[in-house]
A and B are shown apart, each in its own frame.
Chain A
Amino acid sequence: MAHNGNDPARTPSGPTLLLQDVVKTYVMGADTVHALRGVSLSIDRNEYVAVMGPSGSGKSTLMNVIGCLDVPTSGTYSLEGQMVAEMSEYQLADIRNQRIGFVFQTFNLIPRSNIFHNVELPLIYAGVPKTERRGRVVEAIERVGLADRMKHKPNELSGGQRQRVAIARALVGRPSIILADEPTGNLDSKTGDEIMAILDELHSGGQTIILVTHEDYIAEHALRAIRLRDGVIESDTESRRRVGHAN
């Protein structure tokens, strides 16, 4: 089932994501941390980008800014033509809800709710009426192959299954970009491969994916690698085009 995460009606021509001279500075106790010192990049629709860098490079901060969990201290960030940097907390919540799909390293599912409800949650916050919700939730869960576990709770699932639920939740709102932060970090290599296969498939279906990782072999699934060091972009390279998942 083809999944086009980007509704043409809301994407004007131009990059999906555009950062210009983004600086992020924050104060921690007595120290001032310059996490990002002027990052500019542009990501188009249906790109598959890996963001890499050692700890302290600012890649987590960059991910938070891209994911609208945080706003830049200076510089601009436009997502599908909308200037995000000037938005209020209220508006940012809407952006996170409808434009961005998060996949975290630690899965971050709501422990006391079942799978169906976990995947349903973004739609609830979006105000989607109940009748429409059901169809979309089931579709997303089937997409990741967990239709038979819909009423289970997260603690009844394996790590790989939980991450699949997280992907379903990220997909259900039909986001512009999927932001995966070390998605295989808590999984064994075989399960990790399965998860990456799903992401690859989503990309083939038209989804824009941004992957944050420190592992080269994970980054190789993507088609572009941006390396950060000390708060600036060190390199930005296109990978070889890959056919299948053979390594």
Chain B
Amino acid sequence: MRLSVDLGESFQIALRALRANKARATLTTLGIIIGIVAVILTMTAANGLQRAFRQSFSSVGTDVIYVSRMPWIVMNDFFLYRNRPRLELRQAEALAHKLQGKAIVNPTIDNQLDVKYRAETMEGVTIIGTTEKQTQVASAQPETGRFLTEFDVSRRKDVCVIGTDIQKGLFGSANPINQEMKIGRTTFRVIGVMEKQGGSFLGGPNFDRQIFIPISSYVKAFGGDRGRQDVNVSVKAPSQEAVSNLEFEVIGEMRKIRHLRPSEPDNFSLNKLDTLVGAFNNVMGVVLLVGLLVTSISLFVGGVGVMNIMFVSVTERTREIGIRKAIGAKPHSILFQFLFESASICLTGGIIGIAFASILTAVINAVLMPASVSVTILGTAVAVSIAVGVVAGFVPAYKGARLNPIEALRYE
């Protein structure tokens, strides 16, 4: 009972002191403000990145192995892969044959071409030649119309399924189904529109800006084995657990198909969502590390500033501490009084920081990627401010609490 009375009253006493010295308190909080802005922005960036990542790659299956010439993530080691021979369509077909019954195999070829509908043109659209198995291997489904069928593939029909960006860009609000559009120089009929999958993740593929056509029609219109495009093969395992075994099998079969000797390394790559997640986590790790560094430095600087000010405050009020002790204040009352003062200073700085960071977050949200300040982040920012206040203010507050009342009363 006594302690809670002390706490409540100490808080009031602290607030009173703050109000008396507003200018000084505001200046001190500058370091804290910057630190809190850094804390919040780091967390919102991390959150936003994660959300954007998950959104963008939701269509990449977790139980799918993607076989291609190059690995997905290529950085300084490009020269290692440059000389690999292409993946050819007949190799893909051989793999499908070998894995029949054990997995769903879907070969694709893709390239970037210009597409046209009446007066509208879109340049550099990704055209993907695929089979009817596409919708089994990836989660994205058509929203209107239908997807390709085995019949379309076997008959090399000039039909296409377009992404939502294509619909918006070429057809606007008109219904694209059964309309004829040009892909490159060939006319295709729209039979379906894919569901929206979310925007491009920091320059990665935009899954809404694609058009699916039968792979046979692709070869017919744009050349397959005669052309220079790479074939990619998606292999979907029957279950999550079967993936690792399937990997071994795929590697074994591909090596045979591509006539590799036992001593030669693989000249193709198996990619999985895991790989992307791994790369993403690396990026996230860097973002968090940088953020943490900036935050720690600013909060440290801010904390030192607060500690400094609290030393000044305690010294200035030495006489006052003596008076309070003379009329019965116990050391812990003095300690709490000054701790509350320094926590209040930091909390004020924190609130200002939250305001700034919220504005910045709104800007990021509008310009770069989805970002918002969640309640958790707000709570963390508040807790951090108070913690910095308590830690920074502790030594001066302790010194004040330990003052000898007689000497303190004599202090000028």
Contact = CB atoms under 8 A, between A and B. Distances in A.
Interface stretch (A41-49, A73-81, A92-100): A92-100
B326 interface: yes
Interface string A78-109: 00000000000110011011100010100011
Given A69-B406, A127-B2, A127-B5, A108 B319 contact: yes
A129 B331 CA distance: 21
Contact of B320 (A64, A70, A98, A110): A110
A14 B5 CA distance: 35
B375 interface: no
A124 interface: yes
Contacts of A126: 328
B16 interface: yes
Interface residues of B, number: 24
A40 B9 CA distance: 40
B325 interface: yes
B120 to A, nearest CB: 72
B369 interface: no
Interface in B264-315: none
A183 interface: no
B323 interface: yes
B330 interface: yes
A85 B325 CA distance: 18
In this complex, the member of B2, B5, B17, B322 whose beta carbon has the largest number of chain A beta carbons within 10 angstroms is B5
A121 B135 CA distance: 76
B405 A98 contact: no
A160 interface: no
Given A89-B331, A102-B327, A124 B9 contact: yes
A125 B328 contact: yes
A122 B328 contact: yes
A70 B331 contact: no
Contact of B326 (A102, A117, A124): A102
Given A108-B319, A127-B2, A127-B5, A93 B329 contact: yes
Number of chain A interface residues as a range: 20 to 34
Contacts of A109: 323
A174 interface: no
B9 A69 contact: no
Interface string B235-252: 000000000000000000
Interface in A188-216: none
B125 interface: no
A60 to B, nearest CB: 9
Contacts of B174: none
B400 to A, nearest CB: 14
Nearest to B327: A122
A112 interface: yes
B330 A125 contact: yes
A169 B327 contact: yes
A113 interface: yes
A126 B405 CA distance: 18
A77 to B, nearest CB: 16
Contacts of A122: 327-328
Given A69-B405, A127-B1, A93 B328 contact: yes
A96 B326 contact: yes
A124 B333 CA distance: 10
B406 A70 contact: yes
A125 B329 contact: yes
B324 interface: yes
Given A108-B319, A112-B20, A113-B16, A125 B327 contact: yes
A114 B405 CA distance: 22
B409 interface: yes
A90 B331 CA distance: 8
A40 to B, nearest CB: 23
A100 B328 CA distance: 9
B386 to A, nearest CB: 23
Interface in B326-365: 326-331, 333
A108 B329 contact: no
Nearest to B3: A127
A150 B103 CA distance: 88
Contact of A108 (B2, B16, B20, B326): B326
Contacts of A104: 409
Contacts of B405: 69
Contact of B328 (A70, A98, A110, A112): A98
Contact of B327 (A90, A111, A121): A121
A93 B319 CA distance: 17
A58 to B, nearest CB: 14
Given A64-B406, A112-B17, A127-B5, A93 B323 contact: no
A106 B20 CA distance: 22
A56 to B, nearest CB: 16
B25 to A, nearest CB: 13
Given A112-B17, A124-B9, A97 B406 contact: no
Contacts of A121: 324, 327
A97 B328 contact: yes
Contact of A90 (B6, B9, B323, B330): B330
Given A96-B328, A109-B323, A117-B16, 12 more contacts: A64-B406, A89-B331, A90-B330, A93-B331, A94-B328, A96-B326, A108-B322, A110-B320, A124-B5, A125-B327, A125-B329, A125-B330
Interface of B: 1-2, 5-6, 9, 16-17, 20, 319-320, 322-331, 333, 405-406, 409
Sort A-B residue pairs by CB-CB distance and give the 6 closest, nearest first: A97-B328, A125-B328, A112-B20, A108-B323, A93-B330, A122-B327
5 contacts: A97-B327, A102-B327, A112-B17, A125-B333, A127-B5
